[in-house]
Structure formats: structure tokens, C-alpha cells
Amino acid sequence: MAVLSSAKRVLPWASCNGHALARVSGGLRGLLGTADGAAAAGGCSLLPCRWRSSLPQLDSVDRSDEDSSGGDIDWDNLGFGLTPTDYMYVMRCSQGDAGFSRGELSRYGNVELSPSSGVLNYGQGLFEGLKAYRRSSEMGGYTLFRPEENARRMQVGAERMCMPAPSVEQFVHAVKQTVLANRRWVPPQGKGALYIRPLLIGSGAILGLAPAPEYMFLIYAAPVGTYFKEGLAAINLLVEEEIHRAMPGGTGGVKTIANYAPVLKPQMDAKSKGFADVLYLDPVHKRYVEEASSCNLFVVKGGAVATPATAGTILPGITRKSIIELARDRGYQVEERLVSIDDLVSADEVFCTGTAVGVTPVSTVTYQGTRYEFRTGQDTLSRELYTDLTSIQMGLAEDKKGWTVAVD
């Protein structure tokens, strides 16, 4: 696969924040940089690692149930809840390893962690999200949408969070294994997708503030339908003026788990008032819109489309990137720039994009107590782009861009 072989390989322990790391004796002190470094530098060789072996191990994958459909699932009312599936994929990397070693599937189940693991104490973790779609019964098999992009984004995030990351090849292979092992949970065509959730966490024990000495890459999956309870219908958003999602120099541009608990409060408050989600403003001027809690934003006015430029405070969505290209293919001028509140409220059309939400039209935005309305429904650009994108993802249209990856 040409697209994969050209991918940049990140050497996990090569550097972190400019500290060169020698994998020879004591070289990790540069990384750990604290008094605890000396103790932690021994990693698992010194620290007890009883919890390492506690993961449910898969002696032999039981494939007898794989071709039966997903039990008694109501495929028509999936939503975005967690339906546990059969298998998860686990791969580890310890201090001193050249990278992640070969991972394996195990039965889906709880993971045991040291109470002093880096992820539990300091939030050293990243997640990803992508979907596998069932192809038509004539074609058979499944498709993934741009999984190398998720792998690369995880590598960028890992660099920011001082973690080693799987190679693009390891990531995509692991995703495929997870899909195949859970194939009976991939919804029928048109009913949804198998949502795949890769995690990269600092699983090793550490006390002083420093990167963990061991990392776990884990993938689980769950069948999903639509993200918002509104389904494919348009949503109402509330502009949040007090709480900010990201700041310049922070981690808003990477998918770290640390970004999400802080936005639960404004999100829950907005939901209690009947809004589907919150729109965040830039924390400096409180004048430029950034994105929603888990999706990017587009505004349309006349023949021009604009989306906030990603400069560290906005998550660079793969759906966003794809929609920019699809809108340009349709002859629209698409600008990545600052999008002010004025640009937003005077737009003809507004929509959100993300793996989970797809392309979701926004019918109203409420800012400082005023509700602004936008065009939705037939003859909107968001509807056209939704069709363009989902046709490629579900294998209904020819994939001229090489965005889909087959899993057979």
C-alpha cells in the first residue's frame, strides 16, 4: 500500500521536548527530569509490574460467532451509546523498547492499571475515533475512511504529550484486526458504522510529574448510529462565553483525553437548556468561533465557505479536511481563516463536521440571548457534502481520492 509505506515513522523514544534520549544507561533522566527520574528510569525492570499480566489474554480467537449478526441488536435505534463488542486490541511499549511490540487481540474487558499510572494521575493519554462501514453484500468486506490520518494525528499528539506512538502501519493493522474480530457488530449498510476507538495511555507507574515508563495502545469498538439525538436533523447550538476549550500554546490541537472533562460542564448546562452542543470562542478576544465540543464548524455565505483555521486551539478534523476538499471539488471557494461571531451570525448556512457527527446541519445559534437561524434541509451545501462524503465512506460512489481502505 503506497500510501502507508511513505508514512513517517516516529521513533518513540527519540526525543521529547528537545531532550535527546539515549536508550543506554541512565539516559532517561533527561526525559524524566525530576528527582524521581532515577527511580523511574528503571521502568518495569525495577518497579513491580504485576498488573502487566492481568489483561484478559486470548489463547485462541473463537471465531465461531463471527458470521452471525450482532445478536438481538436494534440496528434502527443505535444512537451513540456503548454497545460492548467481543474483542479489543492491546499493544505495549516499555521504557527502553525501540517502539511498540507486536500487539494482540484479547477478549473485550476491563484493564488493570497501577494506581500511580501516568494516565490516572496526570492525564497522559490520547484517543482517536474512526469508523468501519459494511460494504454492499455483493462486494462484501468493510471499509475504513482515511485511517492513516488518524495514525498520523496520534503521532503528532504523542509528541506533544511525551509518549511513544505506534507506526502508521502498526496502527492501521491493529484497526483492521479489531474490525475483523468484531465483524458481527458492524451494522448493516445504511444503519450506522462500527465506531473504532484507539487509545494511547501512559500505563506505567510514576509518582513525580514525568512521562510514564510504560505505554499501552488499545483499541475497542462499538456499533453506532447517529451522534446527536436529533439524528440527521439540524441541531441548535449555544455560544459559550465564559468557559474556553483551548488556549494558545495549550493542547486544543491534539486529541488528548485531558481536553474533554473540562468541557463537560458547559456541555451539560447547554443540553439542559435544549441545545445539542456548545460553540467555543477564542479565549483571547472572545470574538472568533473555534469549534464545538467534538466537531469542527463551517459557515457558508453565498458561494463562499469558511472554517476556522487550525492554529493550535482547534482539533484538525479529518472530516473537516475531507469536506474542504469536497467543497472545492464542487467549485466553492473555501477559506481557512478567523471566523468572527459576526461572520457566524450573518451566514446563510452553518454545519458541523466530525467522524462521530458526520456532517450535521445547524439550524440555530444562540449568542448573548439572541437566536440566529440558518438554512437547512434540501438544496443546502451541507446536504450535498453529506451525500458526497457518505457515498465515498459507504462505498456507494467511486473513491477517486484513495480515501478508503478495504478490510477483508
Q: Which residues bind ligand PLP (CB under 6 A)?
A: 129, 255, 291, 294-296, 315, 317-320, 353-355
Minimum distance between the CB of residue 231 and ligand PLP, rounded to whole angstroms? 18
Residue 306, class by beta-carbon neighbours within 10 Å (0-12 exposed, 13-18 middle, 19+ buried)? buried
Whether 401 is a known active-site residue: answer: no
Q: Buried b vs exposed e over 243-265: b needs ≥16 C-beta within 10 Å?
A: ebbbeeebbbbbbbbbbeeebee
Q: Which is nearer to ligand PLP, 203 or 294 (CB)?
A: 294
Minimum distance between the CB of residue 325 and ligand PLP, rounded to whole angstroms? 13
Q: Which is nearer to ligand PLP, 94 or 393 (CB)?
A: 393
Minimum distance between the CB of residue 250 and ligand PLP, rounded to whole angstroms? 12
Minimum distance between the CB of residue 259 and ligand PLP, rounded to whole angstroms? 7
Taken in order 11, 12, 18, 21, the sign of the CA dihedral is negative
Q: Cα torsion at 127, 275, 278, 360 (round to 10°)? A: 60
Q: Which of 354, 330, 325, 366 is nearest to 236 (CA)?
A: 366
Minimum distance between the CB of residue 314 and ligand PLP, rounded to whole angstroms? 7
Q: Which is nearer to ligand PLP, 244 or 320 (CB)?
A: 320
Q: Which is nearer to ligand PLP, 210 or 297 (CB)?
A: 297
Give the separation between CA 42 and CA 36, rounded to whole angstroms. Answer: 11
Q: Which is nearer to ligand PLP, 278 or 315 (CB)?
A: 315
Q: Which is nearer to ligand PLP, 216 or 315 (CB)?
A: 315
* Beta carbons within 8 Å of 164's beta carbon, 6+ residues apart: 10, 12, 13, 93, 97, 99, 100, 158, 215
Minimum distance between the CB of residue 322 and ligand PLP, rounded to whole angstroms? 8
Q: Which of 8, 255, 273, 286 is catalytic?
A: 255
Dig out the grid coordinates for 166 from the structure.
Answer: 505506534
Residue 317, class by beta-carbon neighbours within 10 Å (0-12 exposed, 13-18 middle, 19+ buried)? buried
Dig out the grid coordinates for 118 from the structure.
Answer: 501516568
Q: What angle in degrees, to the nearest 10, is found between the helix axes of 318-329 and 147-160? A: 130
**3-class DSSP state of 212:** coil
**3-class DSSP state of 361:** strand
Strands 235-240, 358-367: pairing is parallel
Catalytic positions, written as ranges: 255
